[in-house]
């Protein structure tokens, strides 16, 4: 939308008032403070956020929007935790529960082989009976079938559980899984950093400091990872800023985060659902502020299976430069929570068309954001 137009020219039509010094800071490429981020959330008009986030995205990634060829494996929905926003979790033996054997994993991987995926994303429930060896064997099974594939596996919460169960320091646990073929860590389990809110929505799962420690350990072991934020439930703007601030601090220390992914709370079939869902303007606002805030994270991802293709397309004008991948109908987590896409699947052609419709350039990437091909 804005990339071929001079940012200053666009801003000349807007009365910036008190916010002008903050706008100048963003245009000068300076880091904004947490107070600044809160001002952007609370006071900036959506048009201004579009201009600023697009300006920052342009500087970071030009006109490119990244995607990859991926599929998901959700090995189980049986979980020791019981987060109030989760539509997916079941008890051991409960109707609707599943747990994949190594043979199931092998067959799933075979099913996707001819699509030439470059990445498999693995996350699921925290199964009470699985341990680090099972996680290791699961990864090894995938690598036996597809030696070249990048395995992005297990949220910090899943890792925390099996590594603690093995009585290992976090770095040692990560090292063991890396030995089996683990390549990077997805961003799940982060939810929201604030302790009070966390207690209300996901009290039993790994604490926020522990989530950070798992990612730090992974970074120290040479693995990169992603960071997410679950927004649009009972948190407020200050909580979102606090969450992003903590991630920015760890990124200053390790540099290990590839991308930041705001995840919009979806309200179907879960206990937290009575609070409803936030609106599209709030989505645009959240992505835009994230893009402006994270001077040290290269990519902002809009996860289209959850948002829907139209909303993901819109977010390309609000700082997003990555829309995840082709997915191939391989995820259930979000469809169970009432996401826009019930059977998420896009061919490479469709992904490219979506990106081009926003006047951006499609770039197929590997999991570390090296460009494989531009279309």
Contacts of 256 (CB under 8 A, 6+ apart): 215, 216, 218, 219, 223, 224, 225
| Residues contributing to the site for ligand V47 (CB under 6 A) | 85-87, 123, 155, 186-189, 191, 226, 228, 230, 261, 263, 265-266, 270, 303, 324, 333, 337
Contacts of 30 (CB under 8 A, 6+ apart): none
**Cα dihedral: 326, 332, 337, 342 (round 10):** 60
Which region among 36-44, 83-91, 131-139, 173-181 touches ligand SF4 (by CB under 6 A)?
83-91
The minimum distance between CB 351 and ligand SF4, in angstroms, equals: 27
**Tokens for 305?**
């299976």
Among ligand V47, ligand SF4, none, what binds residue 205 when CB lies within 5 to 8 Å by partner kind? ligand SF4
361-365 β-sheet, strand order: 322-325, 64-68, 361-365, 371-374
The minimum distance between CB 206 and ligand SF4, in angstroms, equals: 9
What is the widest separation between alpha-carbon atoms in the chain? 63
The minimum distance between CB 157 and ligand SF4, in angstroms, equals: 5
Which region among 66-74, 81-89, 339-347, 363-371 touches ligand SF4 (by CB under 6 A)?
81-89
The minimum distance between CB 346 and ligand V47, in angstroms, equals: 15
**Tokens for 143?**
């690598």
- If the CB atoms of residues 125 and 344 are measured against ligand SF4, the closer one turns out to be 125
- If the CB atoms of residues 152 and 299 are measured against ligand SF4, the closer one turns out to be 152
Pair 70, 269: CB distance under 8 Å: no
Among ligand SF4, ligand V47, none, what binds residue 79 when CB lies within 5 to 8 Å by partner kind? ligand SF4
Total residues interacting with ligand SF4, rule: CB under 6 A: 12
Which region among 82-90, 176-184, 256-264, 350-358 touches ligand SF4 (by CB under 6 A)?
82-90
d(CA 357, CA 345): 18
- Taking CB under 6 A as the criterion, the residue among 25, 31, 60, 81 binding ligand SF4 is 81
**266 lines the binding site for ligand SF4 (CB under 6 A):** no
Q: Report the residue closest to ligand V47, judged by CB.
A: 188
- Outline where the chain has alpha helix (H): 7-11, 20-27, 34-43, 46-61, 102-112, 132-145, 156-165, 170-180, 195-202, 208-220, 237-254, 280-293, 304-307, 309-315, 333-336, 348-356
Residues 86-125 that bind ligand SF4 (CB under 6 A): 86, 88-89, 125
Residues of this chain that interact with ligand SF4 (CB under 6 A) are 79, 81-83, 86, 88-89, 125-126, 157, 202, 205
């Amino acid at each position: 939308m804005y990339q071929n137009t001079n940012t200053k020219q666009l801003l000349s039509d807007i009365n910036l008032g008190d916010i002008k010094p903050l706008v100048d800071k963003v245009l000068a490429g300076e880091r904004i403070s947490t107070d600044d981020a809160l001002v952007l959330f609370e006071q900036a008009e959506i048009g201004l956020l579009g201009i600023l986030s697009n300006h920052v995205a342009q500087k970071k990634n030009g006109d490119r929007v990244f995607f990859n060829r991926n599929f998901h494996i959700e090995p189980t929905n049986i979980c020791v935790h019981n987060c109030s926003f989760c539509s997916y979790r079941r008890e051991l033996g409960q109707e609707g529960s599943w747990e994949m054997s190594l043979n199931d994993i092998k067959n799933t991987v075979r099913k996707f082989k001819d699509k030439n995926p470059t990445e498999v994303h693995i996350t699921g429930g925290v199964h009470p009976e699985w341990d680090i060896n099972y996680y290791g064997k699961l990864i090894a099974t995938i690598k036996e079938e597809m030696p070249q594939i990048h395995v992005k596996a297990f949220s910090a919460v899943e890792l925390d559980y099996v590594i603690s169960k093995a009585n290992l320091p976090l770095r040692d646990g990560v090292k063991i899984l890396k030995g089996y073929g683990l390549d990077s860590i997805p961003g799940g389990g982060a939810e929201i950093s604030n302790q009070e809110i966390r207690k209300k929505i996901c009290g039993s799962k790994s604490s926020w400091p522990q989530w950070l420690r798992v990612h730090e350990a992974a970074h120290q072991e040479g693995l990169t990872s992603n960071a997410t934020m679950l927004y649009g439930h009972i948190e407020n703007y200050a909580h979102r800023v606090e969450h992003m601030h903590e991630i920015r601090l760890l990124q200053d220390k390790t540099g290990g985060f590839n991308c930041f992914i705001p995840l919009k709370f979806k309200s179907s079939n879960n206990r937290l659902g009575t609070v409803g869902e936030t609106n599209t303007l709030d989505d645009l606002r959240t992505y835009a502020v994230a893009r402006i805030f994270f001077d040290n994270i290269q990519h902002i991802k809009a996860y289209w299976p959850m948002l829907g293709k139209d909303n993901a397309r819109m977010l390309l004008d609000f700082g997003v430069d990555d829309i995840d991948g082709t997915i191939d109908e391989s995820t259930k987590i979000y469809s169970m929570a009432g996401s826009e896409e019930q059977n998420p699947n896009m061919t490479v052609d469709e992904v490219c068309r979506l990106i081009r419709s926003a006047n951006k350039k499609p770039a197929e990437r590997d999991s570390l954001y090296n460009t494989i091909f531009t279309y």
